[in-house]
Structure 1
Amino acid sequence: MKSHISNKEKYIFLIVSFSIWFPHFIYLPILSPYIESMGGTYIFIGIVLSSYGLMQFILRLPIGISSDLLKLRKPFIILGILLSATSCFIFALTDSLGWILFARSLAGVSVATWVVFAVLYSSYFTDKEVHRAMSSISFVVVLAQLLGMIFSGYIVNAWGWHAPFWIGGFVGVFGAVFAFFIFEPKESDSRVPLKLKDLLTVMKEPHLLKVSLLSIIAHSIIFTTMFGFIPTYVTSIGLEEKDISLIVFAFMIPHAIATLFMGNVVVLRLGKWKSLKCAFLLTAICTLLTPFVESKIMLGVLQGVNGFALGLLFPLLLGMSIEFITHEKRATAMGVYQALYAIGMFLGPLIAGILNASFGIAAGFFFAGILGLTASGLIVMWGTKKSYKQMGKYPMRL
């Protein structure tokens, strides 16, 4: 640990990290039914949901490169927090579908700064402790997701549709104040700016492209289901808004457990590629079965299993994305990986929204389930006996 970085400074950074994610997840479970209640079609809901990922796909690499060229991290972090709060306040103050699309797009711009968060926080630690640093900051992300999504439905049931947006906005303001006290080590100024030739070299790495494609599929599934149309499905089968929180709870607890602890256990027993294949098969089955379940208990069980399967995928894919990349190019690889998987965050819900509008809400789940089966097929095609036996421990997703 770098001796001049105190625990207090690390805790401040973790609080700020929590404050950029919590505002977006406290309203996410109710976003699609909220838009539907305002007259938004499934296609429009898909566009709104996909705009979040589209902004990240467009801006993550430019933000990372700009940060390296300017040799600055803190201003980007402060800007990201302020945009997060602004997005929530726009949601809270408008009933216009157009402004809702703008607010969700702004949320995507906000979290596109996450690459800078990861780079600055890792600079608080020595090279040997970077994995521990990523685990700590990733736990904060999971905690923000868990707390925000669990309480969302209850908040709406008690205080109305706009309450989560107001709460998220004030949490963002709180985080922005703390962001001014973030410590940026001077040695971060010595980082070598990214070069175009390095970026192109990394982007041609076959292993990185394969893992990124699988991550695109995984993000398409989660942003089509739990972060997309599962809340709408809950209300469409006659359950109440408060029941959304119960389904979210059933998903997020196994998801967090798998992300934090179980991934390494499964990988150690099965190997990386076989673990991926099993997890994709499991999430595909759960997603394909979802439209046939109308019982609250059974839906909760199904989403719990799905949450666990998806929780295995993300940390494993993250570790695999950089395992064959040289140390000096891993930051570039991570930027490429994060930008590419954002494709799934906007393309998945967009296509699902179009399918739902044409064939009913079950169509989106069938689409996501087929994606899971496709990923399993790709893994079987790519995997070799040698790769199945490879084992290792990986950091958690950023």
Structure 2
Amino acid sequence: MSLSLRGGGRTAHVLFYAVTMLYWFSMYTYVPILSPYIRAIGGSYFFVGVVIGSYGFTQMLLRVPLGIGSDRLGRRKLFIVSGVACSAASSLGFALTSDPWSALGWRALAGVAAASWVAFTVFFASSFAPEDAQRAMGLISFYTSIGQMAATTLGGFLAEDYGWHAPFWVGAAGGALGLLLALCIRETVQASRSPVTTRELLRLGRSWPLLSVSLLAVFGQSVTFTTMYGFTSLAAVQVGADKADLSILTLVTTLPNAIAGYVGGAYLARGIGDRLTLFGGFSVAALATACVPVVHNLPVLMLTQAVNGFAQGLLVPILMGLSIRSVSPSMRATAMGFFQAIYSVGMCAGPFVSGWLGGLLGLSGVFWFTACVSLAGGALCLLWIPSAKLRKATSTSAGAG
């Protein structure tokens, strides 16, 4: 059986959602316990930051080349299947080894897997009209969050009951199932086009609508990967959390994140505009992050992170939609690759710098720094994202010309 999103009906979409969820499930079963695990096997705060940041570093290197290759070949499935395979291999590698340097290599391979997300998003967006790009990104972000949420909820309980390596084995199994389903996806192969020239790439990179939202996403991903997928679990351990509690913490963070990913692009941005929605997301995330060092009670910490998860969930779907809104279909994967490569800087630099600060100032310094990063992102939204009225006026003026 093979199914295409175009003409495949609801069944094709359900298959794609399943592949998407299993792809992320494979990479995230061990995320709740990753930081404590690295500490348990001998890693310092700084090395924790390096391992977390390696996931973003490989994405930063690969996402633009993968986007260009996908546009050049007119194929997305090849990259989707390869990404799911790398995801499964990364989890399997974690399961078979137990030293810090191996962990660094396997998490970097997870970043290689995540780099193929370019192909996922463009393949899915191709079944929607250009004006519905944000709705498409909201939907696919929702199913991404469901996969991540199921994985992270299960991971801590598995580690508590069966040991550190249990989440890695389950992630590998999920990735293997996702790989089998990915092989059933069918696509209509577009005619291959000439390679993207350096001039085209530079012109695309200089496009302010794309560059501005890419830079804003750097701030957003820096906050997410320093808090939700990084050091918050260590703060929870300091206030008495066990491995199972880490799963609950991740659940109460990722569930609001998933809800926000759906309602942000589909409803909030349409109601109050992209600019105010993004500003609100950054500002509330900053406040919730700043609360972490002064909270010494696990339930209260979970409450702050539920708010944090919702606020952060508003950001990426809207920014993703904005990144391809004005780009021609033939260049969408390249544009998305550029966008995701730039925001990978935040996934890498945020944890790296935070880990370095953690070694100097302690864990509190990590969260104070990250709150400032989030505030800066909110301020830049007001400067860089045009209001709905201004964008409409600009569009009308361009159409009249």
Q: Give TM-score scaled by structure 1 length.
A: 0.90
Which has the larger displacement, 118-127 or 234-243? 118-127
* CA pair 114-327 structure 1, distance change in 2 beyond 3 A: closer
* CA pair 156-2 structure 1, distance change in 2 beyond 3 A: closer
Q: State the secondary structure of the residue aligned to 1:85.
A: helix
- Quote the offset at 1:158 in angstroms: 1.2
- Quote the offset at 1:223 in angstroms: 0.2
Name the CA distance, whole Å, in 1 between partners of 2:373 and 2:128.
38
Name the CA distance, whole Å, in 2 between partners of 1:96 and 1:306.
32
* CA pair 273-262 structure 1, distance change in 2 beyond 3 A: closer
Q: Identify which of 22, 25, 50 aligns with 2:25.
A: 22
Name the CA distance, whole Å, in 2 between partners of 1:120 and 1:146.
23
- Partner of 2:350 in structure 1? 348
Q: State the secondary structure of the residue aligned to 1:189.
A: coil
Q: CA offsets, 1:283-307, max 9 Å, x none?
A: 1111111111011121111111111
Q: CA offsets, 1:189-217, max 9 Å, x none?
A: 35665343222111101232222111100
- Partner of 2:317 in structure 1? 315
* CA pair 3-149 structure 1, distance change in 2 beyond 3 A: closer
Q: CA offsets, 1:211-238, max 9 Å, x none?
A: 2111100100010001111111111222
Name the CA distance, whole Å, in 2 between partners of 1:386 and 1:3.
31
Which has the larger displacement, 91-100 or 126-135? 126-135
Q: How many residues align?
A: 390
Maintained 8 Å contact 1:68/1:192: no
* CA pair 385-57 structure 1, distance change in 2 beyond 3 A: closer
The answer as to 2:37 corresponding to 1:34 is yes
Name the CA distance, whole Å, in 1 between partners of 2:38 and 2:352.
15
Which has the larger displacement, 79-88 or 258-267? 258-267
- Partner of 1:105 in structure 2? 108
- Quote the offset at 1:142 in angstroms: 1.3
Q: State the secondary structure of the residue aligned to 2:314.
A: helix
Q: Give TM-score scaled by structure 2 length.
A: 0.89
- Quote the offset at 1:114 in angstroms: 1.4
Say what the alpha-carbon RMSD is for the aligned residues: 2.5
Name the CA distance, whole Å, in 2 between partners of 1:146 and 1:167.
14
Alignment of 1:360-379 (within 5 A): 360-379=362-381
- Partner of 2:399 in structure 1? none
* CA pair 200-244 structure 1, distance change in 2 beyond 3 A: same
Q: Give 5+ residue unaligned stretches, structure 1.
A: 392-398
> Counterpart amino acid of 1:361?
L
Q: State the secondary structure of the residue aligned to 2:157.
A: helix
* CA pair 319-362 structure 1, distance change in 2 beyond 3 A: same
Name the CA distance, whole Å, in 1 between partners of 2:198 and 2:8.
32
* CA pair 270-293 structure 1, distance change in 2 beyond 3 A: same
- Quote the offset at 1:75 in angstroms: 2.7
Q: Identify which of 214, 236, 245 aligns with 2:216.
A: 214
Task: State the identity %.
Answer: 37
- Partner of 1:44 in structure 2? 47
* CA pair 361-388 structure 1, distance change in 2 beyond 3 A: farther
* CA pair 295-388 structure 1, distance change in 2 beyond 3 A: farther
Name the CA distance, whole Å, in 1 between partners of 2:130 and 2:210.
22
> Counterpart amino acid of 1:332?
T
